[in-house]
Amino acid sequence: MKLKDEEIVNLLTAPQTVEKGLRAMMDAYQSRLYWHIRRLIVDHDGAQDVLQDTFIKAYQNIHQFKSDSKLYTWLYRIATNEALQALNKMNRMKKTDEDAEYHMQNLVADNAGQDAEEIQVFLQKAIQTLPEKQKLVFNMRYYDDLPYEEISKILDMSVGTCKTNYHYAKDKVENYIKDNYSQEF
Amino acid sequence: MKIDIEKLSRKTPYPEPSEDFFKQMQANVISQTVGKNPVIVKKEAKVFALDFKWMAAAAVVLIAGITAFLGFNNDPEVTIAQKAPIVDSVYKIEQPANKSSTNLIAKNDISIEAQNETSKPKHLKPHSALASSDSKTTTSSDRIITDRQDYAVGTNKKSDLDVEKVLAAFTPDQLKDIDRNSEQDVYLDLYN
């Protein structure tokens, strides 16, 4: 039985039910957050670390959560920030001089499953070519189907900016696939 | 070729994580958060309704215990021993517990007479020697005189004898001359 956000927060704030609340929160959002992080980080182990840090941060800062917003919006915000920090750290620690975009595309190819569709792999490679904000908006809108209002709250953007970013991102992705997919096949 | 990504299935090319992945992740999170600071839930202490019978029994036991405790420390012999003053052995000897004072005075007189008769340093002998000599005149040998008393009496007697010896060495004429030449002590006249 899935608990509502309000019940989860109540469990987390009561000292006697913290663990129960933490487990309820993880059960409710771990899968969605994992895939959100995974699409940004690409690497599974890196995504696992970021997901753990996300829940730990949420546990430590639950007193800062405002009940007027949704819990998953707050968790998405934490997960996004953690993922971006991890990406910056990865880029700084990168030993080779190769371009960050090229590195991420290679990482997509390495992490793709054997039964993955080629078009899906191209789509992910195309997303890695996007600027950071467009990438975030596109992922949350296209894969997670979040409404623009929620995306705007998560990314501290206006709804119009989110729509514009998504529109540009979609065009870029389609053009990338069109150019590269047709070349290979 | 026109590609519309809205028509594609929204799948990711990455394989699904293993079944234990999320369990392991949850365990890691719990161990790093709640596991570090386990919440201690205090159990409410049981409240006993204090019955009058139990209160009375407890009071009796308490009183009996206190009485027994004080009784152990209130031994009369120990108390008397503690209250007895610490005195010098000399005075203790002068106050024999089992003898009457009149009897003791009489015996002391006898012993002084005996000492006057002898006028020798015999009185400095230990008690056993005195007791053996006195046993001739007195049948009971429980008379006790300290060495200090013997010594005081002996020295007074000896000084008197010495003065008499010195005076005997002078002739009557010499004594008269000494008496003439000596100045009269003013302060001694006050007492004469």
Residue A177 to residue B119: CA distance in whole angstroms: 149
Residue A80 to residue A72: CA distance in whole angstroms: 12
- Which phi and psi angles does A154 have, rounded to 5°? -65, -40
Of A81, A50, A53, A87, nearest in space to A155 by CA: A81
Yes or no: domain A1-93 corresponds to CATH 1.10.1740.10:
yes
Higher pLDDT, A113 or B105: A113
Contacts of B44 in chain A (CB under 8 A): none
**CATH of the domain spanning A99-185, picked from 1.10.1040.10, 3.30.930.10, 1.10.10.10, 2.60.40.3080:** 1.10.10.10
Q: How many CB pairs under 8 A join A and B?
A: 90
Of A82, A89, A21, nearest in space to A57 by CA: A82
Report residue B4's pLDDT band, with 50, 70 and 90 as the boundaries: confident
pLDDT tens digits for A130-163?
Answer: 999 999 999 999 999 999 999 999 999 999 999 9
Mean pLDDT, all residues of chain A:
90
For residues B145 and B108, is the Cβ–Cβ distance under 8 A?
Answer: yes
Select from B15, B21, B34 the Cβ nearest to the Cβ of A22. Answer: B34
Interface-testing mutation among A26, A107, A139, A141, with chain B (most B C-beta atoms within 10 A): A26
Q: How far is B45 from chain A (nearest CA, A)?
A: 18
- Which phi and psi angles does B72 have, rounded to 5°? -65, -35
Of A30, A168, A17, nearest in space to B29 by CA: A30
Report residue B45's pLDDT band, with 50, 70 and 90 as the boundaries: low
Burial B5-23 (b: 16+ CB within 10 A, else e): eeeeeeebbbeebeeeebe
For residues A151 and A140, is the Cβ–Cβ distance under 8 A?
Answer: yes
- The type of residue at B55 is M
DSSP per-residue codes, A112-139: S-TT--HHHHHHHHHHTTS-HHHHHHHH
Residue B180 to residue B178: CA distance in whole angstroms: 5
pLDDT score of B102: 54
Select from B21, B30, B41 the Cβ nearest to the Cβ of A16. Answer: B41
Alpha helix positions (H), chain B: 19-32, 52-72, 76-83, 89-94, 101-118, 127-134, 147-169, 172-181, 186-191
Q: What one-character DSSP code corresponds to residue A144? A: S
Contacts of A12 in chain B (CB under 8 A): none
Contacts of A113 in chain B (CB under 8 A): 13-15
Per-domain boundaries in chain B: 89-191
pLDDT score of B179: 80
Interface-testing mutation among B3, B9, B43, with chain A (most A C-beta atoms within 10 A): B3
Q: Which residues of B touch A (CB under 8 A)?
A: 1-5, 8-15, 17, 21-22, 25-26, 28-30, 32-34, 39, 41
The answer to whether A174 contacts B4, with C-beta atoms less than 8 Å apart, is yes
The answer to whether B13 contacts A51, with C-beta atoms less than 8 Å apart, is no
The answer to whether A108 contacts B15, with C-beta atoms less than 8 Å apart, is no
Does residue B129 surpass a pLDDT of 70?
A: no
Interface of A with B in 125-164 (CB under 8 A): 142-143
pLDDT tens digits for B67-101?
Answer: 998 887 666 565 566 665 555 555 555 545 554 55
pLDDT tens digits for A23-81?
Answer: 999 999 999 999 999 999 999 999 999 999 999 999 999 988 887 888 999 999 999 99
pTM to 2 decimal places: 0.58
Q: Is A183 left (phi over 0), alpha (psi -120 to 50) or beta?
A: alpha
Percent of chain B having pLDDT more than 90?
A: 15
pLDDT score of A142: 95
The contacts of residue A3 (CB under 8 Å, 6+ apart) are A11, A24, A28
Per-domain boundaries in chain A: 1-93, 99-185
Contacts of B41 in chain A (CB under 8 A): 16
Residue A185 to residue A182: CA distance in whole angstroms: 5
Among the listed ranges A115-124, A134-143, B23-32, B145-154, which one has the minimum average pLDDT value? Answer: B145-154
For residue A40, give the chain B residue with the closest CA. B12
Q: Which two tokens stand for residue B91?
A: 């005075």
Does residue B131 surpass a pLDDT of 60?
A: no
For residue A107, give the chain B residue with the closest CA. B14
